Structure 1
Amino acid sequence: MQPYNQVTLPNYSYVFNFESGFIHQKTRTWMQDNWTLGFYYVGVYMVLIFGGQYLMQNRPRFELRGTLCLWNTLLATFSIMGACRTVPEFLCTLTHHGFYHSVCVPSFIEDDKVSGFWSFMFVLSKLPELGDTIFIVLRKQPLIFLHWYHHITVLLYSWFSYTEYTSSARWFIVMNYCVHSLMYTYYALRAWGFPPPRQVALLITSLQLLQMVIGCAVNMWTHQLLQQGIKCHVTPFNVKLSVAMYFSYFVLFARFFYKAYIAKNNGSRKGAPTNPDYPLMKSKVQ
């Protein structure tokens, strides 16, 4: 393993002041002191969405078209910026230091202020992303298990993992930023009245499935390293959590993929999603 002070960093063409001023020790301390607040946020979230569904039963749906356009555009912009700022470090690490370093050394937080800042922003963003569900509830669209289960587990796992500087998160963060860039752009275009071809939804769902496969593979490889006594900055408990999470996502996304595309194309519409955005897990822009 190469010493941290010899880590090769990407040559950024420009570094913003808020990135150069990032101090990872402070953010880690803050998260160590506050990550359990995520459980309270999740509790409030569950009360709001299911209580909201109950209150909306006999009320007309809200349209919220303008708010929805702004919301999806902001999330798409944030995800694109996050992808653009974390992918260079990811590729530089793979190119100069190899796969082991990319999985087992948290230099993306400790040595790179740009990637470190956007990694912390990624973790924090899982809280406001809970707002996706509010649109579903207020617009009286089907709230599926995968949607709220995915939101609460990602938030809790991300916040907990940041307290440990889980090094394999480098892969998870980059993959999520990239997929969300496409997904929220798709939602934004639909909200603005420019729906992309349905093949785009198929592509995004396929990328989501691929993301889960890669996530499982990275975790299994990490588990093997730990079993062999090879140093890797991931705790065995974190690996177990991550494997359980990614595998459950894979099963749920695969089930959705089957219902949305295979069963529907075979003429079996029973149980298949009728909302055009269901294949992307969230039904926000019909």
Structure 2
Amino acid sequence: MSGFKTFAVVGAGDIGRFILEELVRHIPDETVTSVVALTRSSVGYEDLKAQGIVFKTIDYSDPAGLLASLQGIDVVISAISGGGLLAQISLADAAKAAGIKHFVLFEYGNPTIGKTEGIFGLKNRVREHLLALDLPYSQFFTGAFADWFFDGRPEWAFDLPNGKAVVRGSGNAPISWTSSPDIARYIVYILTHLSPAEQKNTRFAMEGDRKTINQVLEEYQTRTGKKLDITYESKEFLEKQVEEHPDDFENGVIRRLFLEWENGQGQTGTPEEVNKYWPEFRPAKVVDVILRL
């Protein structure tokens, strides 16, 4: 066991909610003793509070307040919103001052080591700051969130209930897919079972399934009997949009991500590397996740 018992999750939306709920499940067996959610507003979240999660309001521009909020915490898990990635720098500074033992970076996607552009570059910049602080950290590379990409969010352009899909790129690049509940399970397992030395500055690759987008859509059509109207954006179009509009969300983030995949960077690791720290991990397959949405 790791010896880490007290956890603070920064952010309680999207993946943060899943991590909080998974941590709380381990309180009865005393693997985890306390769970704190650090958010910019603690209004709402009544269902999480009812589970015993303590909410604390934080302001990233208030170093003293951040320091106070982290007292008695072993591990900080960043689930900060994508637009606030650089706020992790002030959070890491406070964590170092508070004597935090371990810091989980906001990664949850493609590997970012050595990246300099876009959201990937921001993530790598934060990692380099933790290295400079000598604050032990871990990175969890999850691949694409199977439940997010296919739940009808307009930015991803997969409107499966209405029989439409826009594939950005050829759709033939292999991609790692993992669902939000499985991501949370793997993260909490690692944090509570591996030693601090095993976790220190380590990259953990997970994967629920490995399929191209075309394979996912083909299997979906076969299993549901629904015919999809599928259109494609060329790689050349993606490159042009990212180059001309690097700072907007649709192109600088969304299309850049699809371009990364098209260039063969959509996998979290080799088949031997993924899930290797938890051999008994049984994550859901991508189309099974879609059919449960």
Task: Give me the TM-score of the superposition, normalised by structure 2.
Answer: 0.27
Higher relative contact order (CA 8 A, sep 6+): 1
Point out the structure with the larger strand share.
Answer: 2
Task: Give me the TM-score of the superposition, normalised by structure 1.
Answer: 0.27
Point out the structure with the larger helix share.
Answer: 1
